[in-house]
Structure 1
Amino acid sequence: MAHSHFLISATSSDGGKTTFTLGLLRLLKRRGMRVQPFKCGPDYIDPKYHALACGEVSVNLDGYMMSPEHIRDLYERYSHGADVSITEGVMGFFDGYDRMAGSSAALSELMGLPVLLLVNAGSTAYSVAPILYGFKHFRPAVAPVGVVFNRVASPSHYEYLRAAAEDAGIVSLGYLPKMENVSVPSRHLGLSTENMAQYRELPDRVADAIEQYVQVDKLLELTERVSTPRLNVKTDEPSSSSTIIAVAEDEAFNFTYRENLRRLSEWGQIVRYSPIRDKHLPEGCDFLYLPGGYPEFFLHELSANESMRRSVRDYIESGGRTLAECGGMMYLCSEINGMDGLSYPMCGVLEERCTMEGMRLHLGYRRLLYGGRELRGHEFHYSTTEGTTPSAGEQYDVRGRRVDTPLYRYKNLLAGYTHLYWGEEDLRSWFD
């Protein structure tokens, strides 16, 4: 059976990848097709938009945190049975953490994914010809199969762009005109998943434009390949174990990787709960996962729920195994000093004070050495911790430079700012 597989990328970060991807996902879903979205890189927000657009949980594919074999396995696992698999790229096509390493181009080359290139044509015309020529010839193995121009002023403007693509030897598949109120928020502290509801109509508006101005059928034809039936595709079967794995999930805590959760489900039964609304941890909890998110926007609610804070503290103090990442780690501190300058009591497990004062972005991939293991993850936060708790591990950036990001170990708790990936790991061994 034939399926379409392709990666959507752009010449730069402002090319409109996410907006176009959402519109195309929605359009294909409206046609009755089963679409599986993927996201290149460690981003948590774009996958949420993907799910908003097509109803399918997106899967991250990351060239730093994952081995090539694991990336292939993930893609085959989750694209199996889909009519179309669409991967949204990261930054500009060739932008990686070290030259091309970890880039959309590297992922495309690894997976043999055809590339649809988006070009922001808002302030240019025929000058895109040498840009397209360069993208075609710089790395021929990942030359774009087609280009779509974004923010086009008029049909006559598009004719200049189409001629440029023709002279560069790349198929032009259409364009999107300049449109008002169709962009998604940039990655900044003010973005909360709680307000994503206001963007529910955005995919339909973009889908309408794509249907009118882009040759979608030709795109699907250019990216079609025959899928060989796989006999070893694993299905997600519920674990027969009685182990209860409590996963925090609400407005404050929701930054999770799909494959991380699937690996947890192999270990036991996942029970989701809300630190904002529930009064205590799930009954019989054997493992607690507090992922990242935006607790800084819900400090009053989290602090006011004293019974939940006490339940979490009692569980950890009694030796319960716990992994807390970024926002989850913040929740375990003695208090959080918010953006309003006020201090809010938290769980008090860690003798650390977390503060939003003097906010500064801490961002990048991390290699973490802990207990003779090498873990990998990604750091993205504005807050800092203040205290004297020593770090149980060492962390390094992609250039091998040591960073001062701590990893806290207290009893059977592991906590830190780094969002870890364990799709290829046995998480239980971290607590030996």
Structure 2
Amino acid sequence: MKVPRIMISGERSGVGKSTITIGILAALAARGLEVQPFKAGPDFLDPMHHNEVSKRISRNLDTWMFPEWVPVSFQRNSVGADVNVVEGVMGLYDGLDGRSEEGSSSHLSKQLGCPVILVVDASSSSRSVGAVAKGFKTFDPDVDVRGVIFNNVSGEKHLEMVEQSIEGLGLVSIGGMPRNRNIELESRHLGLVPATEQDNRARYDEIREMVEDNLHMDALIEIARNAPDWRRVEEPSIEKIDKFRLGVARDEAFNFYYEDNFDILKEMGGEIVNFSPVHDDLPDADGYYFGGGYPELHLAELAANESLKDGLRKSVNDGIPAYAECGGLMYFCKEVRTKEDGSHHMTGIFDAKVEMTPKLQAVGYVEAECKQDCILSAKGGRTRGHVFHFSQVTSTSEKVYAYELSRNKGIDGQKDGFTRNSALASYMHLHFGSNIDFAEGLARSCLRD
């Protein structure tokens, strides 16, 4: 089955891969093509920008966190697309560690049979760029590196030299992008600022125009269309349990979600009801889901919405399940403090205080085992997830933790997941493709099953 697909990967982080991918998505869409974006790895931020320029929901594909779900998600979401574009993560061969290919863009490209276009930083270099490209081409012969995009070229002569450097290597030049600081999207911490925080339309247009002016889009499309035939995979059977309403906190404070999680819950019978903890009252629902985000930027507004906080506390006391990740964990605690704005009272579902820190507290993959029954799983359940946070729990009287993590990246070392009554709040982010039983656990908790 023909499924046109291409991966845009970098030699390393910081070479302009994300900006160029956004421009390619926008340029393809401007041609009237249906473009389906994907993002390698667990990142929440790049997909938000994909959504804006492609008008289709970008999906994460992670060969460490949910390897069996990767081809399923790709197969499902590539339907109806003229071109599927996968943005890589970090450098092409960077993954779980220095030995394994798991979690890397290269591993993903092999799983998907996806040709790779390598973005190389050509600044202050000429023939040496060819050595870099050759290294990436030959490092793993099973990775189908087809072409190169030279970023930060200083002019036509420079582009000519770097293109000469890859002659005879079996690589196609897709063109060169000139250095332009004006098109760089704003960043925060280690990623882009969420697309919903500002109007990027003019910048997207400028990036698209640069791509159209400098890259050989016809060549890129041809490579995508000549990708190997897709071998259909058997999709898992997801049981429809019964109808339930799941309230999802989705606004400027909470917006880190994997869309596949909602698709899985919908197949089980869930109706997703979005609401804003900043602006709204708590909707009537059978359960609640608070994802990550940047609640620290909206603490005053969150603290002021007393009706929602009261409603959520009452719901949890009444046995209605409430699940929170990272930023959601902060909201479920008693107090959040920042250096700039002092302390703000949150819901107090858990007796804990959180403080924002200038230093990254934890980042990376984790495996988790349930040490207690909780609203997602019975004791003994195992899954994989990831953590990324600049906050820390500074004090708590909570004694019960749902998870033991494989690494010291939880609330208290390997301990993660405050759990009490019908509430669960962890630093760990989950993709239910890692273990669909955890989605079923949430669904059954909502149904009081």
TM-score by length of 2: 0.89
Contact 1:135–1:143 (CA under 8 A) maintained in structure 2: no
1:12-50 per-position Cα deviation (integer Å, ceiling 9, x unaligned): 111211101000100111100000000000000000010
- Contact 1:252/1:294, CA 8 A, preserved across alignment: yes
Aligned match of 2:56:
56
Amino acid aligned to 2:436: E
Shift of 1:211: 1.4
Shift, 1:360, TM fit: 3.6
Partner SS for 1:63 = coil
Q: Note the alpha carbon deviations across 1:93-126, whole angstroms, 9 max, x for none.
A: 0011123221000101111100001101111111
CA distance in 2, matches of 1:214, 1:358: 39
1:97–1:398 contact (8 Å) kept in structure 2: no
CA distance in 2, matches of 1:253, 1:421: 16
Separation in structure 2 between the aligned mates of residue 156 and residue 319 of structure 1, nearest angstrom = 69
1:416 aligns with 2:426: yes
The SS at the match of 2:176 is strand
Partner of 2:278: 276
Give the whole-Å Cα distance in 2 for the aligned partners of 1:173 and 1:266: 41
Query: What's the CA shift for 1:136?
Result: 1.4
Indicate the residue corresponding to 2:397 in structure 1.
388
Distance 2:314 2:398 in 1: 20
- The whole-number CA distance in structure 1 between the counterparts of 2:187 and 2:304 is 31
Unaligned segments of structure 2, at least 5 residues: 371-378
Partner of 2:373: none
Residue 74 (structure 1) aligned with residue 73 (structure 2): yes
Deviation at 1:203, TM superposition (A): 2.2
Is 1:317 paired with 2:325?
A: no
Deviation at 1:403, TM superposition (A): 3.7
In the alignment, does 2:436 pair up with 1:425?
A: yes
- Distance verdict in 2 for CA 1:153–1:196, change over 3 Å: farther
Following superposition, the deviation at residue 408 of structure 1 comes to 1.0
The structural deviation recorded for 1:187 is: 4.5
Mapping 1:125-274, distance limit 5 Å: 125-188=126-189, 192-193=193-194, 196-224=197-225, 225=227, 241-267=242-268, 268-274=270-276
Letter of the 1:212 counterpart:
D
Using the TM superposition, give the Cα deviation of residue 240 of structure 1 relative to its aligned residue in structure 2, in angstroms.
Answer: 9.8
Contact 2:418 2:425 in 1 (8 A): yes
Tell me, in whole angstroms, the C-alpha distance in 1 between the residues paired with 2:436 and 2:130.
46
Q: Given that residues 18 and 184 in structure 1 are in contact (C-alpha distance below 8 angstroms), is that contact kept between their aligned partners in structure 2?
A: no
Give yes or no for contact 2:113–2:228 (8 Å, CA) kept in 1: no
Q: Shift in Å at residue 229 of structure 1?
A: 10
Q: Secondary structure at the match of 1:156?
A: helix
1:92 paired to 2:102: no
C-alpha distance after superposition, 1:352-377 (max 9, x if no partner): 01111564431111111101011211
Q: Deviations over 1:308-336 (max 9, x none)?
A: 00001100111111111111111111111
Q: Secondary structure at the match of 1:272?
A: strand
Distance in 2 (alpha carbons) for counterparts of 1:211 and 1:360: 37
Aligned partners of 1:146 and 1:48: how far apart in 2?
26
Contact 2:3 2:230 in 1 (8 A): no
| Residues 50, 57 of structure 2: 8 Å contact kept | yes
Asked if structure 1 preserves the Cα contact closer than 8 Å seen for 2:6 and 2:223, the reply is: no
Deviations 1:266-295 (A, max 9, x none): 23211111111112x212x11110111111
Mapped to 1, the partners of 2:413 and 2:289 lie a distance apart of 25
CA contact (8 A) 2:48 2:195 kept: no
222-231 vs 154-163, which deviates more?
222-231
* Cα deviation code 1:33-89 (max 9, x no counterpart): 00000000000000001011111110000112102x321111110011100000000
Instruction: Provide, for residues 215-241 of structure 1, a one-character-per-residue CA deviation record: whole Å limited to 9, x for no partner.
Output: 11111112214767979889x9xx894
Q: Secondary structure at the match of 1:140?
A: coil
What's the offset of the Cα at 1:397?
Answer: 3.2
> Percent same amino acid at aligned positions?
38
Q: What stretches of structure 1 move > 6 A for 4+ residues in a row?
A: 228-234
Is the 8 Å Cα contact of residues 365 and 398 (structure 1) preserved in structure 2? no
Query: What is the distance in 1 between the residues matched to 2:24 and 2:298?
Result: 34
Go from structure 1 to structure 2 and tell me whether the alpha carbon gap of 1:175 and 1:54 turns closer, same or farther (over 3 Å shift). same
Q: Is structure 2 residue 100 aligned with structure 1 residue 117?
A: no
What are the equivalent positions in structure 2 for 1:1-80 lying under 5 Å apart? 2-67=2-67, 69-80=68-79
Matching residue's letter, 2:420: Y
Q: How many residues are matched?
A: 426
Q: What's the TM-score, normalizing by structure 1?
A: 0.92
Task: Give the deviation of 1:341 after TM superposition.
Answer: 4.8
CA 1:158/1:184 → structure 2, altered by over 3 Å: closer, same or farther? Answer: same
Given the superposition, is the C-alpha separation of residues 389 and 411 from structure 1 closer, same or farther in structure 2, using an over 3 Å criterion?
Answer: same
Equivalent residues in 2 for 1:339-358 (5 A)? 339-357=339-357
* 2:45–2:191 Cα contact (<8 Å) kept: no
Q: Contact 1:129/1:167 (CA < 8 Å) preserved in 2?
A: no
2: CA distance, partners of 1:256 / 1:228: 28
Encode CA deviations 1:374-431: one digit per residue, 9 max, x unaligned: 12111011111121312232111399xx943521111111111111111341324265
User: Bigger shift: 110-119 or 165-174?
Assistant: 165-174
Which segment drifts farther, 352-361 or 149-158?
352-361
Q: Which runs of 5+ in 1 are unaligned?
A: none
Q: Which amino acid aligns with 2:55?
A: G
Residue 191 of structure 1: how far off its partner (Å)? 6.0
C-alpha contact (below 8 Å) 2:323/2:425 kept by paired residues: yes
